[in-house]
Amino acid sequence: MTMPYPRGLEDRLEALERRVEQLFASIQNRQPITTASAGWKIPNQGLPSSPSSGGHLTASGAEPMWTGSDGSTYSLKPPPPFTPASDPGGMSGLSTPDDWPSTYDPTYGERVQDDLQMIRLWVLQLRSNMLSGGLLI
């Protein structure tokens, strides 16, 4: 480093110290990739390649993403809130008696068939309510 005017060694040392301090200050003032003063703030970035171990936590389109060492990439965005489905109601009116008859009775068979049909309709209504409530896909 040549100086335009010959100076003493002390002046050159002071100038060098000032430049080193300026370099340190410029390095320390760089913006961090993430901040955590009020929760983690992760800027949107492209998805990185898979690391050799562990994983990368990034944000893509305001959605938190995880890229694992196995190459898998998936969103960490929570699912939408649960919407309760409507209650299909109880199954009142079953007509099958509690005890089995000792001999076959056609009326008893019809009652069993009616009850099975009512149970089937109730299950279909329950399934429909669960589909509309987002509980089944």
Query: Looking at the structure, do residues 75 and 87 belong to the same domain, yes or no?
Result: no
* Residue 120 lies inside a defined structural domain of this protein: yes
Q: How far apart are CA 88 and CA 90, in angstroms?
A: 7
On whether both 65 and 96 belong to a single domain, the answer is no
68 with 50: CB under 8 angstroms? yes
97 and 56 part of one domain = no
Q: From first to last of the 137 residues of the chain, give the pLDDT tens digit.
A: 565 665 688 888 888 999 999 888 877 766 666 666 667 777 787 777 878 888 888 888 878 888 888 888 888 888 877 777 777 677 777 776 677 777 777 888 888 888 899 899 989 988 888 888 777 76
Q: What range does the domain containing 127 cover? A: 82-137
Instruction: Return the bridge partners of 74, or none.
Output: 66
